Amino acid sequence: MRIAVVGYKVGPLHAALTKAGFTLTATAIPGTRGPSTTRKPSLVISYGGDGTSLYAERIYPGIPRILVRHSRTCKLCKVHDYTTLIRILKNKQYTIKEYLKLEASIIRASGQPRRQVKRADTAGLIALNEIAIHHKPPHALRFTTSVSGTKTIIGDGVIVSTPHG
């Protein structure tokens, strides 16, 4: 199993995983340019809080993640010790839970898509929490959306959120 670890202060976790015989493909620290390698992992361990989890999803979209709490604020993370985590991984005693994500595209009035995303693997924006559309500076603007059948909204913005957001 190829594992990438995302988070701060991951040295002891790295050592425990390596000692248990797992292949570590990358380490990524939130706020940096990204992972230390381009090899695609089969699993990501997000060691931190909510921000680390979101960062892990951004740099490894669609790869199953195990959220290990290193922060009191991570609502989705369970507290694990390394021994339990390694046993669960070795015995494949985990299930993959999928969370609802949002996908948005920006379309010009001409009907042509406006390319905002630099990743080649997606045509739009993908979010685990929410997508916010707003005008800067804040003035009323008219825009068209297709959220649950609502076609036109006038305001200074709209936020579409998943239950996670």
Q: Are residues 20 and 63 in the same domain?
A: yes
Q: Are residues 19 and 83 in the same domain?
A: yes
Q: Kindly report, residue by residue over 143-159, the tens digit of the pLDDT.
A: 666 667 766 666 677 78
Determine the average pLDDT of the residues in 1-22.
Answer: 88
- Asked whether residue 73 is domain-assigned, the answer is yes
- Asked whether residue 29 is domain-assigned, the answer is yes
pTM equals: 0.69
Residue 160, Cβ density class (10 Å: 0-12 exposed, 13-18 middle, ≥19 buried):
middle
Calculate the average pLDDT of the chain: 77
- Asked whether residue 96 is domain-assigned, the answer is no
CATH number at residue 11: 3.40.50.10330
Q: Kindly report, residue by residue over 51-97, the tens digit of the pLDDT.
A: 888 888 888 888 999 888 775 655 665 655 678 889 989 998 988 88
127 has a pLDDT exceeding 90: no
Full domain range(s) for residue 84: 2-90
The predicted structure's pLDDT at residue 26: 78
- Domain end call among 57, 90, 123: 90
- Asked whether residue 110 is domain-assigned, the answer is yes
**Distance between alpha carbon 157 and the CA centroid of its chain, in Å?**
23
The predicted structure's pLDDT at residue 120: 45
Q: Kindly report, residue by residue over 27-64, the tens digit of the pLDDT.
A: 777 766 666 666 789 999 998 887 888 888 888 888 99
Q: Kindly report, residue by residue over 103-126, the tens digit of the pLDDT.
A: 877 777 787 776 655 554 445 677
* Helix ranges restricted to H, 42-164: 50-59, 82-90
Q: Are residues 60 and 106 in the same domain?
A: no
